[in-house]
A = this chain, B = another copy of it.
Amino acid sequence: MPSTKRKIINDPVYGFITINHPLIFDIIAHPYYQRLRRIHQMAMAHLVYPGAVHTRLHHSLGAYHLMCQAVTELRNKGVEITPEEDVAVKAAILLHDIGHGPFSHALENRLAPGIHHETLSLGIMHQLNENLEGRLSLAIDIFTGKYHKPFLHQLISGQLDMDRMDYLTRDSFFTGVSEGVIGYDRILKMLLVHNDELMIEEKGIYSVEKFLIARRQMYWQVYLHKTVLSAEKMLKKIIERARKIYRKDDPYILTHSALDYFLGGDFDGVINADSMERFCSLDDADVTFAIKRWSKHPDVALSTLSTNLLNRKLLKCTIQAEAFDQATLTKHTLDVCARLGITEEEASYLVFTGEAANTTYNLVAEHINIYFKSGDVKNISQVDNALIHQTLSTPVKKFYFCTLAS
């Protein structure tokens, strides 16, 4: 009897993850889901934090696990969640990242320009829904926010959703960065639903503050760490350069994978059944393989970036509060031109600047509501003596400058 089939999966982060519904089994068994095993969750962060090699599959399983706990907690508090909603919200969180391509965010919008991973996720969910005879319809409605119980959508996408809760927990676990540890289990215990919206009990305020601060710290210490940033910019530049010089008759640029379709001009910017299938055939191995090939390509910019990324000889990266001036950029560019005998256009892949930003808490676009015993509801930024205030909600912008080390 499939309905009683039950499997437990060891997870170093949470202990055990339990799978016990046929739809969940079917999703996990699908090749598109299994593909996530071959996509790093944190792209190039492992060049600084060698443990950070966990996968998108592991992250989405973890988010699913937290969703199981959240549903149990809310039901214990009297919130009605039907069996159909239960499995739908779990299916939706499992699939929330199904549209990620190789190296996740680091290459987002680069392989298939103009296409965001959420769009792809939704497209793939629709296609899976056909294969699964409509069993994903409710999951899709919740995912897109059309369902009449907003709190279910908020569990998937919101300030305190299971996605963020898992990625902070998992990324801090695998990097070993204790600053990112959050009290996810306590936050889950503090969840409640009021007027169909997800809220936090009054006594959970400190845990939420901790969560926001942890996120801020992970951004600066890990996600935007200057070395990680350098490596991920190199990855982007490699793809850009390859696209730029791509010629179908150049055997050295060929990747022998669907990358050729996306880099060689065949992709017309529209996601349809064909382009989606090609996209879903890609994973980190294709890109890594291509970079290994390109490390011997005659184009100096492409081969230099490729070789150096493979051997972790990264561009030297500086981060500062003010924008870098044009003179610095020019000086380094000319220096690289001279050293490598390349043009300024070519050197622009090896010397460049830009900005990175992070907002700890967006007062406008997002909000975390605190429910007080008195029945009051306040945005966390309006609670007395809040740590989360105007200052923290101002986006922090920093500027980076990358150049080929001499």
Contacts and interface: CB of A to CB of B under 8 A. Distances in A.
A186 interface: yes
Interface in A148-188: 173-179, 181-183, 185-186
Given A15-B176, A292-B285, A8 B54 contact: no
Nearest to A320: B384
Given A50-B58, A213-B213, 6 more contacts: A10-B51, A12-B51, A12-B174, A12-B176, A16-B189, A256-B293
Contacts of A288: 38, 283, 285
Interface of A: 4, 6, 8-13, 15-16, 20, 29, 31, 34, 37-38, 46-51, 53-55, 57-58, 61, 76-78, 173-179, 181-183, 185-186, 189, 206-207, 209-210, 213, 216-217, 220-221, 256-257, 281, 283-286, 288-289, 292-293, 310-313, 321, 384-385, 387, 389, 391-392, 396
A104 B154 CA distance: 43
A200 to B, nearest CB: 14
A141 B172 CA distance: 40
A47 B387 CA distance: 28
A31 B292 contact: no
A125 to B, nearest CB: 19
Interface centre among A178, A217, A220 (most CB of B within 10 A): A178
Given A8-B189, A286-B289, A384-B321, A51 B216 contact: no
Contacts of A396: 385
B78 A4 contact: yes
A206 B178 contact: no
A51 B387 contact: no
Contact of A392 (B179, B220, B312, B387): B387
Contacts of A321: 384-385
Contact of A11 (B9, B50, B77, B210): B50
A176 B76 contact: no
Nearest 7 Cβ contacts at the A-B interface: A12-B176, A10-B176, A285-B288, A178-B183, A289-B289, A31-B311, A50-B58
Interface centre among A20, A29, A77, A310 (most CB of B within 10 A): A310
Interface centre among A11, A53, A209, A312 (most CB of B within 10 A): A53
Contacts of A48: 10
